[in-house]
Amino acid sequence: MEYAQIKNQRNEGIYMGKVITEEIQSLVEVELRKGASKSRIATLLGVPYDEAIVIIDEIKASFRPDVGDKIIFSFRDEKMAGTIIKLLNNSAVVEIYWDKSSDKMKDIMESKTIVNFKDIEEFVSSETE
């Protein structure tokens, strides 16, 4: 893959003077959520392992959720929405928004649940609510 030499206006990260594009960020995020190894990610990116480590570390820091983040996640193939109220190692305690979640899940879920980071499908900005 080729990397642009200048930073664009999309707040893309920079490593070693090169830009981490949205395409690269998306690929790395998906692979990390799947549990792919760093060497596999390096191969997919077509970069040396040491360079991939720098990219992975920067992307990891940028997509780790924070308390208060509003998310959409999947549970048993159903779309759910909620707010992160506590972070754990690889998961978060989420308060569910029932008005924006699958009604099928009301019978089997409490008002709060544990969500693995890999099950987070997107972060919702407050403007889109």
Whether 5 is in a domain gets the answer no
How much is the pTM?
0.58
C-alpha dihedral sign at 123, 126, 127, 129: positive
Answer whether residue 11 shows pLDDT above 90. no
The reply to whether 54 and 77 lie within a common domain is: no
Q: Give pLDDT tens digits for 72-94.
A: 998 888 899 999 999 988 789 99
Whether 86 is in a domain gets the answer yes
Q: Give pLDDT tens digits for 90-128.
A: 789 999 999 889 888 888 888 999 998 878 888 887 654
The reply to whether 28 and 49 lie within a common domain is: yes
Q: Which residue has the tokens 């709060």?
A: 112
The reply to whether 121 and 76 lie within a common domain is: yes
The string of DSSP codes covering 53-103 is HHHHHHHHHHH---TT-EEEEEETTEEEEEEEEEE-SSEEEEEE-GGGS-G
